[in-house]
């Protein structure tokens, strides 16, 4: 996965994260759990770089 650069990237990643959360739930042994973590990190990095309060 690549860094999120646009609002559209952010929205797609957020949708993906929500779908993964629906599937994985709290099962840390689920095969998609690591993807959930990566997507969450990308979203967090985007939010830090695009802080609306700056």
pLDDT in tens, the chain (54 residues): 789 999 999 999 999 999 999 999 989 999 999 999 999 999 999 999 997 665
Instruction: Give residue limits of the domains in the chain.
Output: 7-49
C-alpha distances in Å from residue 29, one per residue of 25, 33, 39 = 11, 7, 17
- Owner of token pair 């609002």: 7
Cα 51 from Cα 28, distance rounded (Å):
30
């Amino acid at each position: 996965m690549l860094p999120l650069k646009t609002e559209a990237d952010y929205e797609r990643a957020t949708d993906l994260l929500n779908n993964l959360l629906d599937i994985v739930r709290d099962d840390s042994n689920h095969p998609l759990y690591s993807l959930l973590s990566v997507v969450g990190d990308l979203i967090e990095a985007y939010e830090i770089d695009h802080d609306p309060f700056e």
